[in-house]
Amino acid sequence: MGKFRRVPVGIVGASGYGGVQLVRLLMDHPEVELVYLGSESSIGKSFGDLYPHLGHATNLLIEAIEPEIIAHRCEVVFLSLPNGLACQIAPKLLEKGCKVLDLSADYRFSNLTTYTNWYGIERSDRTIAATAVYGLPELYRDRIAEAQLVGCPGSYPTASLLALSPLLKQGLIVPETAIIDAKSGTSSSGRQPQTNLLLAEADNSIAAYNIGRHRHTPEIEQICSDLAGHELMIQFTPHLIPMVRGILATVYAKMSDPGLVRDDLITIFSAFYRNSPWVKICGSGIYPQTKWANGSNLCYIGVEVDPRTGRVIVMSAIDNLIKGQAGQAIQCLNLMMGWDETLGLPKLGFYP
């Protein structure tokens, strides 16, 4: 028998929270070998210098971001960079034959004018961007399997869209009435120091932010419009809550058929996600908590109907750093490589 070969992968932007989740998960993935870590801010340091709790597990050094060298050593590259940087690097990696998974917003939009309007970044890579596939496997599994470039969704859109998709796809709601009320732990804002994330500021408090102008809004609207078959505007309000990780998105919408009851919708959701191993639909009267998903790639969804108002309420809970970021990127990698979708990903969370 020939020697077993693992696929060489690299991470550009390995020093942030998304990067460290990727390192941890990829080190346990049976089909890949992590061969490159890059970050302009920590060149020459060992990964253990940045994250001492992993010092015993990897001796990789942080290297300069040089696309030619990265492409020579890696078949697959994860880009975990601030918005506006991946679009400078991805075209060079793709030209050299790499598969690229971008965790920023750079390749999430089919219309780059929308991206520029919301992110303020002009782009010159429209041809490349047109080839990108939106990396939500539960909706675009077949497209991801054929892709060379995947734009992995944001964490808020992941939780929100998994709650909304069956409702829009099956025509169960009046689309324009959809409202998303979402709450996230502080790790969603990254590792860079910010005043509002200080313990003294964030603890014992809950606050809405970027009301009516959060950058994940057009991303959610793009996919909702695709599902509904016409352009939609969605009301989305995010909140910061005093915990480290997790997102709970609660979706409200007017039902198009007020005769539907909770058990009808649970049956519809279960059928919609019957081939989606990472989505778990809760039983009648059971509503998900972020703690259930903590440390896993799972999304828990609970459904309720308010017959008094004629509205459906859907609750979606994920770990923002796993299903909302690194884990979902690896889920996409598995599809791109023809592997089992669950390979190398945590199937159960840590509880309590």
Encoded tokens for 335? 């599809």
The answer for residues whose C-beta is within 8 angstroms of residue 188's C-beta and 6 or more apart is 155, 156, 247, 320, 324
Report whether 255 contacts 303 (CB < 8 A).
no
pLDDT the model gives residue 1: 41
- Which residue carries 């709970």 as its tokens? 248
**155-169 and 137-145 helices, crossing angle to 10°:** 100
What value, to the nearest 5°, has the Cα angle with vertex 322 and ends 51 and 268?
A: 175
Please give the Cα distance from 304 to 350 (Å, whole number): 26
pTM for this model (two decimals): 0.95
CB neighbourhood size of 266 (10 A):
20
pLDDT the model gives residue 351: 87
Block means of pLDDT (10 residues each) for the chain, 352 residues, are 77 91 95 95 90 90 95 97 95 98 97 95 93 98 98 97 98 97 89 81 91 96 97 97 96 96 98 98 97 97 97 98 98 98 94 85
Q: Which residues pair with 133 in a beta bridge?
A: 150
- Which residue carries 């017959």 as its tokens? 307
Sketch out the chain's domains with CATH numbers. Answer: 7-152+325-337 (3.40.50.720), 155-318 (3.30.360.10)
pLDDT the model gives residue 127: 94
At residue 217, what are phi and psi to the nearest 5 degrees? -60, -50
Residue type, 122: E
pLDDT the model gives residue 152: 98
